[in-house]
Each structure stands twice: as structure tokens, then as C-alpha cells.
């Protein structure tokens, strides 16, 4: 099963190669339109996390670690979307979140300024990462009750 992640990376390299930053716009090969957070999710995340982000993507049964249900991020954080944690988890740190693929070229652009909603701190953050996190915040399941 540990061979699945390298296989995913090999299959996605042609896509990633076409995602080099272009003045802050993230594009797919042959696609002139800027990628939205939802578009990025569909291209890079849905295979594992599922079309609706519930952790039920077509690749999920083949992975050693089950993908997270991304619609429950806020619920697991006391009802508040954990933007900083999501950005850190997606971007990854060497050796920490090794179950997530690395999307180096996609996140090479650090021209966006993202403000942490908890602290107000401004951080240079890749535009694609800001867009993806913003999209994930919109798919959170409503709080029970």
C-alpha cells in the first residue's frame, strides 16, 4: 500500500509541471482560466478526499491512512474553521505530514498575503494555498442543533 502515494505523485507530475506560478495565477495545462479554490480541490484533492470532501475519494480505499473528512474541520475545532492548521497541513513540513503529497511547484508562489483570523498576523502564503483553504472553509458541515 505504501507504493500508492509514489504512484499518485508519478501520475500527477505532468499536471504539476504545468502549474508553475505565472504572476500569482495558478493554471492547469491548456486552461487559460485562473484556478479557483474549488478547481484546485477538484484537481488535486478530490481523488483522495472525495468530490464533497468527505474522505471517500476513489483513491481512499488504496491508502494506508484514510483521508480526512474535510467537511468536519470546523466541527472538530469547536465550530471554528482552523485556517492556520489547514494551511500548515496542506503545505506540509518535511517529515511531519508525510501522508499528504507534496505539490512543490503549485505552492512555490508566495505572493499572497494571508492574515491569520485568530492573531491578525500577516504571512506570505502561496495564492493556491489561500484559495484552497478559503474553499475548504465553505464546505464545512453546519453545526448540529
For 61-89, the pLDDT digits (tens) are 999 999 999 999 999 999 999 998 898 88
**For the chain, how many helices (H) and strands (E)?**
5, 2
Mean pLDDT of the chain: 76
28 forms bridges with which residues in the sheet? none
Report, as ranges of residue numbers, the positions in the chain whose pLDDT lies below 70.
1-34, 92-98, 144-145
122 forms bridges with which residues in the sheet? 115
Q: Supply the pTM of this predicted model.
A: 0.71
Alpha carbon of 110 to those of 24, 26, 40, 130, 145: distances in Å? 8, 12, 16, 10, 40
C-alpha closest to that of 35 among 124, 107, 123, 120: 107
Amino acid at each position: 500500500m505504501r507504493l500508492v502515494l509514489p504512484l499518485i505523485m508519478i501520475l500527477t507530475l505532468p499536471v504539476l509541471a504545468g502549474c508553475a506560478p505565472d504572476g500569482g495565477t495558478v493554471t492547469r495545462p491548456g486552461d487559460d482560466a485562473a484556478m479557483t479554490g474549488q478547481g484546485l480541490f477538484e484537481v488535486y484533492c478530490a481523488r483522495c478526499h472525495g468530490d464533497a470532501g468527505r474522505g471517500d475519494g476513489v483513491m481512499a480505499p488504496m491508502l494506508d491512512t484514510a483521508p480526512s473528512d474535510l467537511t468536519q474541520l470546523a466541527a472538530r475545532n469547536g465550530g471554528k474553521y482552523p485556517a492556520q492548521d489547514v494551511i500548515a497541513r496542506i503545505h506540509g513540513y518535511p517529515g511531519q505530514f508525510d501522508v499528504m503529497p507534496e505539490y512543490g511547484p503549485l505552492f512555490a508562489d508566495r505572493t499572497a498575503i494571508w492574515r491569520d483570523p485568530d492573531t491578525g498576523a500577516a504571512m506570505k502564503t502561496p495564492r493556491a494555498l489561500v484559495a484552497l483553504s478559503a474553499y475548504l472553509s465553505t464546505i464545512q458541515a453546519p453545526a448540529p442543533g
